[in-house]
Amino acid sequence: MIRSASKNAAARRESVLAMILILIGSLTVFVPIAYLVSDSLSSRETLRQQPKPLLPSESYVVTIDGAQCFVYDIEVNGQSRKLAVVEKKGSTWVYANPDDPAERYELGACSVEQRARKITLHWENFGLALQKAPFLRYVANTLVIMVLVTIGTVLSTVMVAFGFARFKFKGSKTLFLILLATMMLPSQVVLIPTFVFFKWIGWYDTFLPLIVPAFFANAWDVFLIRQFFMGIPKELDEAAKIDGCDPLRTLWSVILPQALPVVLTVTLFTMIYVWNDFFNPLIYLQNPKLFTVAVGLQNFSALYFNNAHLQAAGALMMMLPPVLIFFLAQRYFIQGTVVSGVKG
């Protein structure tokens, strides 16, 4: 009994510790996003304040006798009041009630920190960002590349993974090890030869260097799909063969329906990767009309480096599609990374 109680107490402590770690991890992700959202809805003047407020707030200004007057939080007769400064006489300022300008007080000067502030959301920042740069063109370019790359990646990796998982021939294990070894080769090592080759065949400043390589598979996705295929009983293949199915029909009708989670995971990973890819489009694209979202956003930030609010608005708009894709299909990320067989 005592041992059971101690186990329960230990389990509770582990649960509390896990929740604390999850909370800390969530905060580290949420805080930068919160600042990004706040900056995208702030004015340029607000972002220049030190320290910068978390919420997009601005100084409260009213018009009295045709002049713009700042409103301050002032203590009058033990009560906090919001009064506008209408005149400054050295260390003594004249304050007026914004609702009744005839009601005035002569009190000591205030600091900038005492200015009254109100939350002001500048939704027009998103429209201005779209006007300053052709983000819709960037999105269209990225979608074209993303769709073609995703199709090429899924088709090629499924075919290669099926071959390694179901066909045994002399040297198959060696070929698979060589394929896995390519993951240890940094992309920068082959960057210059690849660039020279694509430029030599006339593909520079086109989408082709970004799309065509996807049709030749990649080691990580092949490994992931192969491991999933290995967990599917081979008896299903044999039964399909008895029914007259060739290997391609077996792959399409028997294997893929069982492996749908991992295939969808590869699809989603590929879509998000292409959407966020900055390095490859930067290397192969020169014409601004061909820029993708990542390169276009960097170019926009360089042109409008003094407009942090527009940069934040553009970044937030470009960040939303992959975030929505992840939240709508997050269960496939979990299912696809678990190697399992057929549930009977």
Where are the chain's structural domains? Answer: 1-40, 57-119, 127-336
Q: What pLDDT is recorded for position 90?
A: 76
Cβ 152 vs Cβ 144: under 8 Å: no
Q: What pLDDT is recorded for position 61?
A: 78
Q: What pLDDT is recorded for position 335?
A: 58
Question: Could you give phi then psi for residue 99, rounded to 5 degrees?
Answer: -80, -25
3-state class percentages of the chain: helix first, strand second, coil last, to nearest 5: 65, 15, 25
Q: What pLDDT is recorded for position 328?
A: 77
Nearest to 264 by CA among 328, 176, 342: 328
Max distance between CA atoms of the chain, in angstroms, equals: 100
Q: What pLDDT is recorded for position 313?
A: 87
Would you tell me how many other CB atoms lie within 10 Å of the CB of residue 23?
10
Q: What pLDDT is recorded for position 334?
A: 63
Sheet of strand 92-97: strand arrangement: 61-64, 67-76, 79-89, 92-97, 100-108
Assigned architecture for domain 127-336: Orthogonal Bundle (1.10)
145 vs 297: CA distance, rounded Å: 17
- The helix or strand, by DSSP H or E, that contains position 59, with its residue range, turns out to be strand 57-59
- Tell me which DSSP letter residue 324 carries: H
Q: What pLDDT is recorded for position 344?
A: 38
The amino acid that residue 22 corresponds to is I
57-59 and 61-64 as β-strands: parallel, antiparallel, unpaired?
unpaired
pTM over 0.75: yes
Q: What pLDDT is recorded for position 343?
A: 42
Residue spans of the chain under pLDDT 70? 1-7, 50-51, 331-344
Show the beta-strand stretches assigned E in 90-220.
92-97, 100-108, 117-119
Nearest to 219 by CA among 299, 301, 161, 159: 161
